[in-house]
Each structure stands twice: as structure tokens, then as C-alpha cells.
Structure 1
Amino acid sequence: MTLKYKHIRKALAGVVCLLMLTPVGCKKGYFDNIPDNIITIDNIFLNRGQTERWLTGLYSSVPDIWAAPYTYQYTGISDEIEFANWGVGTAPSINNGAITADGSPSNFGAYYEKIRLASIFLENIDNNKEILALPNGAQLIKQYKGEARFMRAYYYWLMMKELGPVVLMPLKSASVEDNFQIPRSSWDECVTFVLSEMAIAKADVPLQNYAVGSSTELDPAQTGRINKLIVSAVESQILLYHASPLFNGNTELGDFKNFDGKQLFNQSFDATRWKKAADASKVAIDMAIANGKDLFKVADDDPFRAAYLSCRNMFWDGWKTEGIWLRSASDENASWERHCSPRSISGGAWNGMGVLQSLVDDFRMKDGSSIFTNSTYNENTYPNTGGVIGIGSKTTTLYVAGTNQMYRNREARFYVDVTFNGSVNPGVAKANTPTENNSRVEFFKTGSSGKDGNARDWPKTGYTARKNIIPNINFNPSVTNDRPAMLIRLAELYLNYAEALNEAEPGHPDILKYLNEIRVRGGIPALTGALSQDEMRKEIRLERRIEFCYEAGMRYFDVRRWKIADKPGSNQGGAMYGMNIDAGTSLSDPAFHVRTVATVRKVWQRKYYFFPYGQNEMDRNKLLVQFPGY
């Protein structure tokens, strides 16, 4: 299960490294180190350096959300992206119906290993007299235990998102004499366990990771380490999922039971869960704001350009402002950029993360209206003007003259997130030739990034993803910008709160307040007036669809927890559309600009709500039931 390029990490790290990545440079961090010796455990936990290195290793399986395997895992299964023909293994198995327990995409094995290592750490850290001898030794051990306890619970949470109810292991490290015949716990039991462990951890970790001797200055060397704000943000996410239709009174999964008949999903809807989710999100928001977090915004005399720059620059300039939980930087951003960028960029790119037409259509017009209701929208005219935004000397060109009308007058995030036929090259362009104009992107058949120019590196849909590509990207010579990835950002907390509050207390003024914060930052007019609960629900879901496209598998999990994966407008199977990449000889050729089936995926099946447990695990644990359908 690989893409054209996959970064291979070393299995063992040779040195202790507690430094996180700062805005410049390239260092290893908390997410990169793995313990290299779990045999001489007693000796390890007598030594401060080895103990801290073990703790560092517990972070190494936290997902890098811009890594090719991660985007492959979720973004390419949802109604966001279709991959290019990069060879055997690039078609996700759910899309073609080939998913089986023998080839489960779940990362449960790595997560269980980290859970075991966290338990070993918690059992032994109190024996470290070298740490205890430090002036703040007792406090350090308390903090370290909080981090390890959170990470153990967090890996269970990642498994639960993929697998549903999981097997909860005893809270001790395993030995060969232990009984591993353990059934799944119910979903409710899993949530109760994870939240209780996180509550204990939150009491033991700091509010923020301050530099030594300071109560105000953050320590960049500890970027990504668990603190109270991170725990609160994850609690918000868990409670939101727990309240959602997939997990709250889901009678469709009433047949999912253990061998002894134990029901694994509750069958009775509990309305109070939405209130708990709203309250948890508000706690996380208030804590974030009190500690200096805010939506990242760029000031500009042109409000539309301000929205464009705010949403575009967020990923390299805004992580300090908006980021709640950061993953230290790596070269995975560069991998994402190369997979997405058109071939017209200097040094060549792989031009294959094809955005589906349904996502293109969901981006609104500049005034916030839908393309289906706006009278200026059409797909058959080609004005002889380009798209320039800005005032005076501060201008940005979005697309060139001759670009189809369907791509004009769209909301700012459309130009941040989608590269289309006629858009300005997102990076440093190749030198022009007599037959190529590389300052613009050409996806029509004979264009510079079209199907005729390369055997495999072309988007099936006639679009590529653009979000999180730095404007000066260049592959010859290589120019990249290592930066932390925002695993959770403040915008997610805002929309978590708006969604939960709309379900718990329809009409509450905070719903519009926090939803409009995201809309206005994105250049969309604020919503006003009284909307029904259902109308507001649609607006919130659309906002999540647009704001978080391609990020952290958000769309993949959202359509499942809402139980709309088989509904029109969010269907995860069947025909997926784009432009006609097999036609077109010029930028304004109507033959290219025709909605065309880009791929046909397997029709949605109930089993696709979750990945299967791997068959190897099923063979070992005879009390483990498989999710129905596998």
C-alpha cells in the first residue's frame, strides 16, 4: 500500500533527541524516536536519559497527517481525492471492494505496541532515582506519567476511530503467561475508559510547555508534548464522535455482538451526549483563548485577499497562532507537495492527487451562495480577463485570461485548496518553451500537465489538491519549508462546539458566533437570521467539508459518524466525476470542460464504517469478533 513516493523512517534512532522542530532547520523530535532496548528494562529505568528516550518513543506513532500513507489511508477513500495511476497498490482497497481482514489498512498493531510500551513506562518510572534526585524530580515523574497515560489512551482512541469497539488490554505490561483471549469491550466502555485515563493524565501534565524558569514563554524544544490544552482538545473530539449517530443509538448495528451476545453499540439514543460534547468543546476553546490562541488572520486592504492569504499561509505561518496540537516537522510536507503539484513546476512533480468534482462543486461563490443557485455561475464561457485580487502594489493573480467561468468568483478557500485548468502555477514554474506556458496550469489532454505528457503523472479528475503547498515550491533545486503539522487547530474546536450546540440547544447564539468566525475568516459573509436546526446542521457540515478538506482524515470520519456515506452529496461509492482529461487542445477548449466519470468505486456497504481487525489478530484471539461483513 504505497504511493509513488513513501518516506521510510529508520526503525531505530541512535541518539536521544528531545528537540522539536522550530520554524527553520530539520531536527528529529518527540515523534521520531523509538526505544531500542526493551530487554534490560530495569537498567533503562535507572538511567534518566534512557527513560526520557523511552517516553519520547511513545510519540512516534502519532500520525503525520501530511505523510503520503496517511493521506492515502483516508483522503483517497473519501469523496475528496482520487489518485493517479501510480501502479499496483495505489487504489485503496475500500474503493475497489478488495478490503479483507488479511490486508486490513488499520494500524492497530503499531498502536497496541505503543500501548504496551506506555504500560511498561508507567510501571517502572517511579524507580528512577536519578530523576527523583533532581530539584523538580517528583514533579517531572508526575508529568512524564501523565504524558504516557495520555498516549496510551490516545492510541486506543485512534484504534476506535478505525475499528469501532476494540479489545482493551489489562493496565499492565503483558507477559507470556497472560491470557490474551479477550473480547471487544463495548463502544461505551471504550469511551469511558479512554476519557477516564485522559482525565487522570490532564491533572498531571502542565497547562503549557513553558521554558525553564518562565511562566509565559513557551519552550520550542517541547513543541508537541502533551499539556492540558491538548488533552482538552482531544476530549472535545471524542465526545463529539460519541454523541454522533454512528455511535449513539445506532440500531443499524444492532447485530454487532460478542460471542456471548453482549451488544457492542448502544441501541438507545442519549440526547445528553450532545450537551456534554458542547460543554467540553467550550472548555477547550476558553482554555485555548486564555493561553493566546486565535484564528490565524492576515491583514490586507482587500478583504478577499486577506481571506485568501489567511487560509493559504496558515500552514506555514499560522501554526503558532492556531495550532493546538502540533506534530514536529518532517519532510512529509515535501512529499505531499510533490504528489499534488502540477508537472509545470520546476524540477517536475507527480501531479496526481486529483480533487473530485463533488468537492470542487461544494466550494461556494464569493458571496457565499451555492454554484447551483448563483445566476453568474456557468460552465460554458471563457472571459478574456484574468483573476487578480488586491489593491495597489499588493496583488495576487489567481487564474489567467481564458479560464472557464465556473472557476471565477469563487470563495477564497477554493483558490487556496484546488488547482484547476487555468489557475496560476502554485510554485516556481519551469522555463517556458515554444509550446509551453508554465506560469499557468494546463490539465487539458495536450496541456503541460495533461494526460498526453506523461504515462502516469496526471490527475484523473482534471484538478489537483493545492492546500499546504508553499508558493516558492521548487524541485530543482529543491526548495521546501519544513513546518509542524497541526493535528488539531482552533478552527476544529469552533466547529465541534457549533455542531454539538446545534444538536443540544438549537438557536443558541454561540452557534452562529463560532460558525461565522470560520466563515468570515474564509471570506464568506456571516450568516444572519434564524435558521432551523436542520438548516444550521447543513451549514456546519458544509463548513467542515470545506475548512478541513484533505486534513487528518476529517471528511472520512465525518461522513461515517453522521451516517451519510451513502447519501447524495456525500456518497462514498459509485461514480466519481471530474473534467474530461481525454479531451482538449487549448486552455479554453469546451471539450475538456465536461463533467466526466473519472472513476467508479465500489457501492457503499455497511462494513465500510470500520476497518477489519487483521486476520492475524483474529486467529490469535478466539474471543474477538470481526466487524460484520468481513
Structure 2
Amino acid sequence: MCANWASTRNPTPATAGAGSLIRSCACITRVSPLTSKPPSMKITRMKTVHLLWLLLPLLAACSKNYLDRKPSDLITEEEVFRNIENAEKFVNVIYQSLPNIYKPRSAWALSSATDETNQAGDNSASYPDAGNFNTGSMSPANFPMQDQWAEYFGKIRSCNLFLANYDKVPVDPNYPERRSRLRGEVLLLRAYYYFNLVIRWGELPILSEVQNPFDEPDAIYYKRAPIQEVIAVILKDLAEAETLLPVNYTSRPNNWGRASKMIALALKGRVLLYNASPLFNPANDQSRWTVAAEACRAALDTALNTGYTLHGNYGEIFIQYFNREVIWSRPSPGAFGDGGIDREMNPRGANGYGNINPLQELVDDYEMKNTGLPITDPASGYNPQRPYDGRDPRFAATILYPGAMWKGRLLDPNGADAPRSGQISTNYWPRKYQLESVNLFAGTGATDRKWVLMRTAELYLNYAEAENEARGPGAAVYNAINAVRARAGMPDYGGGSKDAVREKIRRERRIELALEDHRFWDVRRWKIAETIDNREVHGVTVTGSGNVTYTYPVIEKRVFSAARNYWLPVPQSEIDKVSARNPEFKQTPGW
């Protein structure tokens, strides 16, 4: 293990893994998450692949000869995979379904489906969003993220198609490792999409090869495999991917954003951490925690030894396009228009929609900077008449609050920043991800940003959690926690019992990783969502001037059923198609 792994040392930044998706030729630019996804591929009995419409946007500027064909012509598998340029472009499309800040169908954030934020405008009557989670108004025919079942399995099918044709892909004489690197990328992506499926649905069909429905019409109707079988498939893919991928792309910066060995190690640690957690490990098999701790430690050591260290300024991580802390990311939406980061998140007085509002519950969990104590501790130094003073610096880097200075003025929820008619606002707004330079009136001041998928701080906290559960609290656990706290300017945590340290780590994850799509899954894998997401949540109102009065009204009474809400239902359309052909394919219990 690296001797100074817990330090915040500052070697040459390893920006190789921190950038955008692929730019392998002039026509491959960042994939916009707001553009429509290509339809899933179909294979005819003659093994001719309808890839033209899938690859056309990628080939348009780089392979003009394909456009000279008649409209009825098809690109065959031979033409795609016997040309390494085309094979790489095929792989590029598989990246397109990496998660982004907003979720399918509308600009709603996963943070609004747990105790981080509120969705000011509930559109769940029109299309599924966070409101369905919070009110329990879901069914197998209509629920948030239901499209991701088909989307992720579609990407897995694309992975299987590439792997089935891998032997056809030629070696690039100018870059001999390119061919095996592509195989490694595909294996990692298949593991990543399976992981995203298993944390949503639990038991899953395991699809390891492409099957032709014309040849074997009954063979395509799979049963749902047990969770541990799915986890084993994920880990097998990651193990092979590790051997094929470079640790990063420092030597080939044009490949920034592609899957790497560093990403494979980080994903392996995350998978094993989840698999050791109560939802996946109801018997609390301690060996799972031990394996998870070892994997998380290996990922952290590798990150630090290759330059992925904690960035000195917490707030900059989310507004810089390249950053030494970010291990994997994808481009975020732009600033303007419906679905723009700044348009959706900014207060009304800045010409934003004010649609995503942090909850008082999140605000209250930020400790006091000087003492490192929660505000509920009488010794913390908290002043309820000045509730935002002296808090953990990550508070002001994450949340805009009444009276905060923003874009040259004080935020006023009773004036310019009051919610529009029909909105239910907490009177807080996100600061994380937003650029103060953006002018939503003039449409200026924006720069490209990224949605962080993995970063070094998560690796510290993953290791701290797994190590505490496997071996109990000790210096290794405290060093990991305090490395993250020190970067934020917070006092060291002094330690406690195993149970106390567990709660401290959970709070630290809540604060450090706020609004990054971890909390929704964390409260589920810890099996505390039945408490956390099953209660009243609050905002703030401010009255008077000078010595103002703060009150904390209930915004919503949220519900969560322990009997069924830990896993999503299989879309009813899939049940209708499959169950008649294979009665072993069952709906998720409780649905």
C-alpha cells in the first residue's frame, strides 16, 4: 500500500480520465444527453445488421463512402468489425447511456427522490419523475426510470455483439494495444450497465451472447437470475477488463473519458461495497466486507499513485471540465433552455426555473466548521438566529440560501426569488454545478462542465466504510475520513465505536457526495430508506428584516414501503412479453 495514501498530496494531475466522452475523429464529439438515443439494433436471419442508422452520425464526417450507397443498402457486420475505425465508432455509441444529471423523460434529479432536494414542480401526473417515488404513486406500467430497463439491456446487447465479432477486428499497426483496449472498454461498459440494472431491479436475466429471435424464438425468454449470479458476471467482466485497459490515458489524451483500468478498479470497489451492504447481504456475511475493503483499498491506492488526488477547492470540482480528482465523467447538459443546468437550478431572480430545491434536512446535516459538531450539539456553536454562519464550507459550495450573495445580489425568497405560481419551494437552491458567470437573461457566460461518475473522494469513503465494517475502527478508517474532511477545511474526526464510526461515515458521504446521485442508492443499500424517505420534509421561510425569523414548514409527507420500494418493478410490457413464454420470469416481489 502507498505509504501516504491518506494524504492530499499534489503530484502532476492525472487529467487523463477526467474528461469528456470520446473524440476519436472529427465527427466524434461529446454525446449530448439531450439528443434522442438510437433505436435498438435488429439482426436479420441472413446476419445482416441494420447498423447504418446507428453509425450514420458517427460516419458522416469520417467515412463518406458509406453515404454513396443506395438508401436500401445495409452495412454488414463484416464491414463494421473488419475495420478498426468502424469498430471503435460502434463502441463509442455504447457510452451514450452513461447516466447524467437529469433523468429520463424530463429534467428531474434523483436527489429529489430522496432526502436531498425537492422537485418544485411535480410533473408526475404527466410523466414519471421524482414525485412518483415520494408519493408512492407507481405501478409496473408507469414508474420513473422504467425506460432504463430496455435502454441498459440494449447497451448490453451491443456489448455482446461486439464481443461476438471481436475476432474480426484487425490490429492497428500504429497502435497495437487499440484492439484489446476496445475489448476491455466493452467488458467494463457491460459490467457498468449490469451494475446499474442490479441496483434497480435486483434479480436479472443474464444475457452473455447475441441470440437471433428468428433462429431460437423461445431461447430469448430468460428467467431472472439471483443477485449473486449477476454480481459474479459483473466481477468477471471487470477482472478481464483490468488486464486489457491502460491505467489512464496520460500518454494518449485524445482518449480521455474512455474506460480505463482505474475506472475498472473503482467500479469493482463500488460493486463489492454494495454487495456487502444490508440490502444485498441480509445475513451480514463479514467476508463480503473484507473483500470489499481490499478492493476499495486497491482502487484508492491506484488512484493516488497515478495522480487522482483530492482537488484543493471543493466547489471547483463540478465546474471545471478537467480536474485531477475526477476519475470518470460525462458531459453535462448546457446552461440554457429547458433541461439546462443553470436554467433549471437557478433562482427565479436570476431568470432560472428554480425547479430543484435542497431540503432543510440536508441543510441541517452540515456541521459547524470550528467545532466539527452537528448543530444539534449544544457545544457546536450553532446560532439559530444566524443559521448559515460558520457551517462546514461544503455547505456554501453546495447550497444557495436566503440572504446569500449570488450574481451580485442577495437572494430574497420573498421578492425576486419567490417561486412561481404552482411551485412548492424550500427557498434553497443548488450552488453545486452552477457557474456564477452564466447570465440567463443574456445567454452568456457558460462553459462546458461534466457530470461526475467517479471521483477520488468517493474512493476514500468507500474504503473507510468497508474497512470499518470488516475490521472495525482504527487509524486507516480515520485517515480516510479525515483526508476528505481536511480538504474541506473541517476538523479531524477523533473516532468512536464501530456503530458511531458507521454513522459518521454515512453522514460524511451525505455531505461530501450531496446531489451526486449517491444518496438515493445509499439509503437503499443500507436499508434505511423506510425511515429516511418515509417522513415529512421541510423548507425554510424568512420573515421580517434585521432580526429575521426563520420557520421550517413541511413541504411534503413522503412515503416508502419497505415491502416493495427497495427494488423497482419490471416494466409491465416486459412481463407481458416474457411471462407467457417463460413462467419462471417473475415480477419483483411486492409489485
- Deviation string 1:203-251 (CA, Å, 9 cap, x unpaired) is 11122224xxxxxx450x2121011000000001000000001111x2x
* Alpha-carbon distance in 1 for matches of 2:244, 2:418: 55
**Which residue number corresponds to residue 384 of structure 1?**
none
Contact 2:211 2:220 in 1 (8 A): no
**Which residue number corresponds to residue 79 of structure 2?**
43
**Which residue number corresponds to residue 223 of structure 1?**
256
**Which residue number corresponds to residue 43 of structure 2?**
none
**Which residue number corresponds to residue 233 of structure 1?**
266
Contact 2:122 2:131 in 1 (8 A): no
**Which residue number corresponds to residue 579 of structure 1?**
540
**Which residue number corresponds to residue 244 of structure 1?**
277
Is residue 365 of structure 2 the alignment partner of residue 362 of structure 1? yes
Counterpart mapping for 1:349-498 below 5 A = 349-367=352-370, 368-374=372-378, 376-379=381-384, 381=385, 405-425=386-406, 428-429=407-408, 439-444=409-414, 447-451=415-419, 454-456=420-422, 460-478=425-443, 479-498=445-464
- 1:542–1:91 distance in 2 versus 1, CA, 3 Å: closer
* Alpha-carbon distance in 2 for matches of 1:48, 1:335: 36
- 1:372–1:159 distance in 2 versus 1, CA, 3 Å: same
2:529 to 548, 560, 565: 565
Counterpart mapping for 1:316-355 below 5 A = 316-317=319-320, 319-331=322-334, 335-345=340-350, 348-355=351-358
* Alpha-carbon distance in 2 for matches of 1:133, 1:245: 46
1:176 to 209, 214, 239: 214
**Which residue number corresponds to residue 241 of structure 2?**
201
- 1:120–1:46 distance in 2 versus 1, CA, 3 Å: same
**Which residue number corresponds to residue 93 of structure 1?**
132
Is residue 559 of structure 2 the alignment partner of residue 554 of structure 1? no
- 1:20–1:327 distance in 2 versus 1, CA, 3 Å: farther
* Alpha-carbon distance in 2 for matches of 1:423, 1:93: 32
Count of matched residue pairs: 520
Amino acid corresponding to residue 614 of structure 1 in structure 2:
P
Is residue 559 of structure 2 the alignment partner of residue 602 of structure 1? yes
* Alpha-carbon distance in 2 for matches of 1:322, 1:73: 23
- 1:628–1:68 distance in 2 versus 1, CA, 3 Å: closer
- Deviation string 1:421-457 (CA, Å, 9 cap, x unpaired) is 11111xx35xxxxxxxxx000113xx21114xx324x
- 1:192–1:160 distance in 2 versus 1, CA, 3 Å: same
* Alpha-carbon distance in 2 for matches of 1:70, 1:199: 36
Amino acid corresponding to residue 558 of structure 2 in structure 1:
R
Contact 1:162 1:610 in 2 (8 A): yes
**Which residue number corresponds to residue 141 of structure 1?**
179
Query: SS state of the match for residue 599, structure 1?
Result: strand
Amino acid corresponding to residue 246 of structure 2 in structure 1:
P
* Alpha-carbon distance in 1 for matches of 2:442, 2:103: 22
1:117 to 150, 155, 158: 158
**Which residue number corresponds to residue 28 of structure 1?**
30
**Shift, 1:476, TM fit:** 2.4
- 1:18–1:504 distance in 2 versus 1, CA, 3 Å: closer
**Shift, 1:175, TM fit:** 3.5
**Shift, 1:18, TM fit:** 4.1
- 1:485–1:494 distance in 2 versus 1, CA, 3 Å: same
- 1:52–1:513 distance in 2 versus 1, CA, 3 Å: same
Counterpart mapping for 1:172-321 below 5 A = 172-178=210-216, 179-210=219-250, 217-219=251-253, 221-248=254-281, 250=282, 268-297=283-312, 310-317=313-320, 319-321=322-324
Where does structure 1 lack aligned partners over 5 or more consecutive residues?
1-16, 211-216, 251-267, 298-309, 382-404, 430-438
Query: SS state of the match for residue 173, structure 2?
Result: coil
Is residue 203 of structure 2 the alignment partner of residue 165 of structure 1? yes
- 1:463–1:291 distance in 2 versus 1, CA, 3 Å: same
**Which residue number corresponds to residue 70 of structure 2?**
none
Amino acid corresponding to residue 413 of structure 2 in structure 1:
F
Amino acid corresponding to residue 285 of structure 1 in structure 2:
L
1:103 to 132, 142, 167: 142
- 1:587–1:601 distance in 2 versus 1, CA, 3 Å: farther
Amino acid corresponding to residue 274 of structure 2 in structure 1:
Y
Query: SS state of the match for residue 112, structure 2?
Result: coil
* Alpha-carbon distance in 1 for matches of 2:180, 2:560: 50
Amino acid corresponding to residue 575 of structure 1 in structure 2:
E
Query: SS state of the match for residue 58, structure 1?
Result: helix
Query: SS state of the match for residue 537, structure 2?
Result: strand
- 1:122–1:332 distance in 2 versus 1, CA, 3 Å: farther
**Which residue number corresponds to residue 625 of structure 1?**
586
Query: SS state of the match for residue 324, structure 1?
Result: strand
**Shift, 1:326, TM fit:** 2.1
Contact 1:502 1:536 in 2 (8 A): yes
Is residue 583 of structure 2 the alignment partner of residue 613 of structure 1? no
Contact 1:421 1:587 in 2 (8 A): no
Contact 1:206 1:228 in 2 (8 A): yes
- 1:218–1:511 distance in 2 versus 1, CA, 3 Å: farther
Contact 1:21 1:329 in 2 (8 A): no
**Deviates further, 186-195 or 70-79:** 70-79
Contact 1:343 1:349 in 2 (8 A): yes
- Deviation string 1:42-61 (CA, Å, 9 cap, x unpaired) is 22223333222111111111
- 1:50–1:236 distance in 2 versus 1, CA, 3 Å: same
* Alpha-carbon distance in 1 for matches of 2:512, 2:24: 27
- 1:281–1:133 distance in 2 versus 1, CA, 3 Å: closer
**Shift, 1:566, TM fit:** 2.4
TM-score (norm 1): 0.78
Amino acid corresponding to residue 349 of structure 1 in structure 2:
G
- Deviation string 1:369-405 (CA, Å, 9 cap, x unpaired) is 11111454343x3xxxxxxxxxxxxxxxxxxxxxxx1
Contact 2:317 2:323 in 1 (8 A): no
Where does structure 2 lack aligned partners over 5 or more consecutive residues?
1-20, 39-50, 55-73
- 1:604–1:587 distance in 2 versus 1, CA, 3 Å: farther
* Alpha-carbon distance in 2 for matches of 1:136, 1:344: 53
- 1:109–1:441 distance in 2 versus 1, CA, 3 Å: same
Amino acid corresponding to residue 423 of structure 1 in structure 2:
A
**Deviates further, 356-365 or 34-43:** 34-43
- Deviation string 1:510-569 (CA, Å, 9 cap, x unpaired) is 1000100111111210022x4110111111000000011110x200000111111123xx
- 1:463–1:111 distance in 2 versus 1, CA, 3 Å: same
Contact 2:319 2:449 in 1 (8 A): yes
Query: SS state of the match for residue 566, structure 1?
Result: helix
- Deviation string 1:282-303 (CA, Å, 9 cap, x unpaired) is 1111111111111000xxxxxx
**Shift, 1:177, TM fit:** 2.9
**Shift, 1:468, TM fit:** 1.4
**Shift, 1:485, TM fit:** 2.5
- 1:111–1:416 distance in 2 versus 1, CA, 3 Å: same
* Alpha-carbon distance in 2 for matches of 1:186, 1:153: 16
- 1:83–1:36 distance in 2 versus 1, CA, 3 Å: farther
Query: SS state of the match for residue 320, structure 1?
Result: coil
* Alpha-carbon distance in 2 for matches of 1:323, 1:142: 25
